[in-house]
Amino acid sequence: MRSRSVSLRGVGRLLAIVLVGAGFLAPLYWMVTMSFKPQAEWNPIGQTIWFPHHPTLDNFRNILGLTSQNTVFFQANSTDASGPIVHSLIAATGGTLIALFIGVLAAYGIARFRAGGRMLPFQILQLRMFPPVAIIIPLLIMMSYLHLVDTYPGLWLVYGAVTFPFVVWLMRSFFQDLPREIGEAAIVDGCTQWGALFKAILPNVKGGLAATALFVFILNWSDFLIALVLTQQNVVTAPVFLNSLQSAGAGQEYGPQAALGLILILPPAILGLVIQRYLVRGLTFGAIKR
């Protein structure tokens, strides 16, 4: 009796896992299959196509600008996303670097010297407590005064400002985990405060730094709202471009949208793989005796 009830519970648990998993994976499945579907299979009326009948790479070719425009009905908007992908890379990388630079220094100051007092970390976090949409219009006006609308520096500044609180909070705890004496040893060994940070401390929080960089990059990479408002045509990031993938003739360009979505997963995924070795490694093994 007992073993049966246990196995029943096991089955129930498995079922729950499968259901929840399916729920989460369904959109991904839709995107992957859609990206390989020819236009006729995108959204046929009264029909559900679970798997492409005639798989094709056309969507990817179109998105990467490898073919001339698709001419099913008439000249659609350009579906060549290679430019926007590059724009996105530049915008997200710049914003991430700014956030990291300011955030790491701020976190170190807060962790080691209690810079700004006890409340500063919380005050920095408060910056994140209202939605960016609440300030997007004032931001646009400020940026236009500064002639930074539709420019990379404009996006960099905003991305950096929006994400640096995360850097401060993440890096602060990594710095706090590292024994204070490691920095002090470097100072006694002849480093300046800056030297101690860059030569002795940062090399030992590589893991944390890598994780933080990845996190912030993903935030900046996937931003839609800020780029939508602050850019027009010189800088068009991929999420904004993705949204524009529709035409009067074809309606939503599901295929190219799915293909682009799939491609947009790649940079963070590649970045994650590259820094994986730092992510999984322990932080301070051997630094102190126990």
Per CB under 8 A, residues contacting other proteins are 179, 181-182, 184-192, 195, 199-200, 203-204, 206, 282, 284-290
Instruction: Rank residues 136 and 283 by Cβ distance to other proteins and give the closer one.
Output: 283
- C-alpha distances in angstroms, 93 versus 18, 66, 138, 216? 37, 26, 24, 9
Cβ of residue 86: shortest distance to other proteins, in angstroms? 34
Instruction: Rank residues 152 and 278 by Cβ distance to other proteins and give the closer one.
Output: 278
Residue 7 token pair: 């196995």
Instruction: Rank residues 197 and 229 by Cβ distance to other proteins and give the closer one.
Output: 197
Which of 146, 138, 152, 148 lies closest to 95, judged by CA? 152
Cβ of residue 178: shortest distance to other proteins, in angstroms? 9
Cβ of residue 288: shortest distance to other proteins, in angstroms? 4
Cβ of residue 141: shortest distance to other proteins, in angstroms? 46
Instruction: Rank residues 50 and 113 by Cβ distance to other proteins and give the closer one.
Output: 113
Cβ of residue 242: shortest distance to other proteins, in angstroms? 41
Instruction: Rank residues 54 and 290 by Cβ distance to other proteins and give the closer one.
Output: 290
Residue 110 φ/ψ, nearest 5 degrees:
-70, -45
Which of 134, 132, 158 lies closest to 146, judged by CA? 158
The DSSP string of 25-44 is: HHHHHHHHHHHT--HHHHS-
Q: How far is it, in rounded angstroms, from Cα 96 to Cα 210?
A: 12
